[in-house]
């Protein structure tokens, strides 16, 4: 193994970082919005909403992401005339959008399960107190249920974010030049997979280290109520 | 205001019934609460007293009967074997005028004490933020926890949390306050501080309905006492009278048991 070549590869692979981050950000945000909707459908108690949401989660979680990417990118090509007539071909012809779509749909399924658990964990008592104050519907969700559920979900959802960073590597298969895509090109040019993949792995490790830290900081900032008692309060309560 | 309007009950229950499945918990309760009444609702556990209170603000939907709050009859519609809320907005309005204090405080854990107090006035009643904050501070002062404005509920003792919950209820400018066993979850040494706050509210002439096990407090503070047994009102009268001269044998036994217990 050649350390100098690892370093050179590392520097070359950095050119793929913006795309990796972009795919992650898009898929994560779209996935989060969908995940909230799917989770709300699941806990709505209405069969017509719950059934399609459960079916969606079942299918997406039960099939490999790679298969989903292939189906969207190559499979939808078969329906080109239909998609053209719908004006959607512009979208599905781009590997970029197909990749983002596949990643978003995947993230939505996993994320919705995290959120569903968090929604169910919100204290019945706090919801009841809000109702007794005259809150209902959207207001109740916006001010009480979702803030409590999202705080509860945050650590597990941070995990989902990290999985998403790693999952972006799969779209290199459909020509995307993100970190792994650039790595594959380098390898085909140099035939030195060990050095290149070590460099690529290092880049993912750094990205995920930074994201993990960011998520714990966000978690810390959002949950002052779960932190230990300040010492001044303790002495006062002991009185 | 005309004489008749001032005499209109703040809360009126008419032949209220509530079943959970086959179990009938309330078997026809009728009750009028007038302005300034402090009504203590006593009864052993399972007598239906909390259910009755929770039917007033529709946290439980009655199976039959009418609930009238401030002259407004709660609109209910038939659904399946029971009733359901017919007008969401009416219920929200009634709930903000009949504030409830819960046994386990039920403060919103992600908000500071001050935020708990201003939440509903700002977002439900749409009052100006600055006004709500000023008023909330005065209320915290009144219940003796002004120094806790920026603390979170989990950082407070049970007694402090319950006083905050009472202040949260007061911040809504309620016409009537519903207390659902407000001291039952407290350590014995914390009960007094909450009762003191409630006593001061009664002295101000606030209309209060209070489900409680604190017989002594009911005797001292309540203007009227109701004793529920198996879903019916067994005893109903002015506080000093029912304790001195109970008409129902069950109530007689209830007070002698609890007083020596």
For residues A110 and A31, what is the distance between their CA atoms, to the nearest angstrom?
A: 9
Q: HSE of B156 in the Cβ direction (CA atoms, 13 Å)?
A: 29
Q: Mutating which of B99, B108, B150, B177 best tests the A interface, going by the most A Cβ atoms within 10 A?
A: B108
HSE-up (13 A, CA, CB side) for residue A187: 14
Q: Within chain A, how many helices (H) and strands (E) appear?
A: 13, 0
pLDDT band at B89 (very low <50, low <70, confident <90, very high): very high
Mean pLDDT of B55-73: 93
* Separation between Cα atoms, residue B165 and residue A26, nearest integer Å: 42
> Given this model, what pLDDT does residue A234 score?
43
List C-alpha distances in Å: B162 to A33, A53, B107, B169, B197: 37, 40, 9, 10, 10
List chain A residues with CB under 8 Å of B209. Answer: none
A233: chain B residues, CB-CB within 8 Å: 151, 155
CA distance A102 to chain B (A): 35
ipTM above 0.90, yes or no: yes
In this prediction, residue B260 has a pLDDT band, given cuts at 50, 70 and 90, of low
Interface test with B, best of A118, A126, A132 (most B CBs within 10 A): A132
pTM beyond cutoff 0.90 = no
B134 Cβ partners below 8 Å, 6+ apart?
none
Domain ranges across chain A: 3-224
Tell whether B96 lies on the interface with A, counting CB pairs under 8 A: yes
- Distance from the B137 Cα atom to the nearest Cα atom in chain A, whole angstroms: 19
DSSP B75: P
CB A109 within 8 A of CB A57: yes
Q: Is A125 in Cβ contact with B106 (below 8 Å)?
A: yes
Average pLDDT score, chain B = 92
CATH number listed for the domain at residues A3-224: 1.10.3720.10
Contacts of A130 in chain B (CB under 8 A): 108, 120
Query: Cβ contacts (< 8 Å) between B108 and chain A: which residues?
Result: 126, 129-130, 144, 148
**Which of A126, A133, A233 comes nearest B124 by C-beta?**
A133
Chain A interface, Cβ < 8 Å to B: 123, 125-126, 128-137, 139, 143-144, 147-148, 151, 223-226, 229-230, 233, 237
Which of A121, A135, A133, A109 lies closest to A34, judged by CA?
A109
Q: For residue A234, what is the nearest residue in chain B, using CA coordinates?
A: B155
Q: Tell me what pLDDT residue A136 has.
A: 92
Confidence of residue B208 (pLDDT cuts 50, 70, 90): very high
- pLDDT surpasses 50 at B74: yes
The answer on pLDDT for B17 being more than 90 is yes
Higher pLDDT: B46 or A232? It is: B46
User: What is the per-residue pLDDT across A9-35, written as a single tens digit (0 to 9) for each?
Assistant: 999 999 999 999 999 999 999 999 999
- pLDDT for position A236: 44
**pLDDT greater than 70 at residue B259:** no
Residues of chain A with pLDDT under 50: 231-239
If we measure between CA atoms, which residue out of B132, B214, B88 comes closest to residue A131? B88
Convert the pLDDT of each residue in B144-176 to its tens digit.
Answer: 999 999 999 999 999 999 999 999 999 999 999
Who among A126, A132, A226 is closest to B57 (CB)?
A: A132
Write the residue in B108, B110, B151 that is nearest to A129 by C-beta: B108
User: Does B151 contact chain A (CB < 8 Å)?
Assistant: yes
Q: Give residue-wise pLDDT tens across range B30-41.
A: 999 999 999 999
Torsion of CA A86, A89, A95, A100, to 10 degrees: -20
Distance from CA of A197 to the nearest CA of B (A): 44
| Set of chain A residues whose Cβ sits within 8 Å of the Cβ of B93 | 134
CA-CA distance, B59 to A128, in Å (whole number)?
8
pLDDT class of B18 with cuts at 50, 70, 90: very high
When pLDDT is averaged across residues B82-90 and rounded to a whole number, the result is 90
Q: Which pLDDT value is given to residue A26?
A: 96
Q: Determine, for residues A136 and B91 on separate chains, whether the beta-carbon distance falls below 8 Å.
A: yes
pLDDT at A90: 86
Q: Is the pLDDT of residue B113 over 90?
A: yes
Look at chain A and count its residues: 239
């Amino acid at each position: 193994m050649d350390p100098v070549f690892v370093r050179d590869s590392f520097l070359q692979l950095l050119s793929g970082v913006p795309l990796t981050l972009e795919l992650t950000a898009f898929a994560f945000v779209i996935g989060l919005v969908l995940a909230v909707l799917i989770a709300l459908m699941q806990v709505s108690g209405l069969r017509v909403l719950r059934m399609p949401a459960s079916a969606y989660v079942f299918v997406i979680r039960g099939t490999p992401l790679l298969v989903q990417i292939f189906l969207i990118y190559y499979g939808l090509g078969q329906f080109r005339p239909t998609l053209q007539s719908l004006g959607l071909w512009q979208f599905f012809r781009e590997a970029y959008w197909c990749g983002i779509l596949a990643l978003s749909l995947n993230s939505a399924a996993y994320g919705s399960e995290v959120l569903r658990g968090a929604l169910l964990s919100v204290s019945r008592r706090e919801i009841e107190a809000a109702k007794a104050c005259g809150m209902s519907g959207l207001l109740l969700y916006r001010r009480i249920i979702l803030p409590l559920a999202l705080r509860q979900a945050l650590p597990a959802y941070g995990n989902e974010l990290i999985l998403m960073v790693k999952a972006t590597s799969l779209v290199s298969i459909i020509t995307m030049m993100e970190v792994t895509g650039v790595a594959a090109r380098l390898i085909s040019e140099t035939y030195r997979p060990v050095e290149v993949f070590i460099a690529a792995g290092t880049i993912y490790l750094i990205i995920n280290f930074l994201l993990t830290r960011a998520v714990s900081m966000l978690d810390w900032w959002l949950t002052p109520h779960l932190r230990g008692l300040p010492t001044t309060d303790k002495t006062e309560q002991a009185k | 205001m005309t004489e008749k309007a001032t005499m209109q009950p703040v809360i009126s229950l008419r032949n209220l019934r509530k079943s959970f499945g086959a179990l009938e918990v309330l078997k026809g309760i009728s009750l009028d609460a007038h302005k300034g009444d402090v009504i203590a609702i006593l009864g052993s556990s399972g007598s239906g007293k909390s259910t009755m209170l929770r039917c007033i603000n529709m946290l439980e939907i009655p199976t039959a009967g009418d609930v009238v709050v401030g002259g407004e009859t709660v609109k209910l519609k038939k659904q399946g074997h029971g009733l359901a809320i017919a007008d969401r907005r009416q219920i929200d309005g009634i709930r903000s005028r009949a504030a409830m204090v819960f046994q386990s405080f039920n403060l919103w854990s992600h908000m500071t004490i001050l935020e708990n107090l201003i939440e509903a006035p700002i977002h439900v009643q749409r009052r100006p933020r600055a006004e709500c904050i000023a008023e909330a501070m005065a209320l915290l002062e009144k219940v003796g926890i002004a120094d806790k404005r920026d603390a979170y509920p989990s950082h407070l003792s049970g007694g402090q949390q319950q006083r905050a919950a009472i202040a949260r209820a007061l911040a809504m400018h309620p016409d009537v306050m519903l207390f659902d066993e407000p001291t039952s979850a407290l350590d014995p040494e914390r009960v007094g501080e909450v009762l003191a706050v409630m006593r001061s509210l009664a002295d101000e002439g606030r209309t209060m309905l209070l489900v409680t096990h604190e017989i002594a407090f009911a005797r001292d503070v309540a203007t009227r006492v109701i004793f529920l047994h198996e879903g019916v009102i067994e005893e109903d009268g002015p506080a000093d009278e029912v304790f001195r001269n109970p008409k129902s044998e069950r109530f007689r036994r209830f007070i002698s048991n609890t007083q020596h217990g």
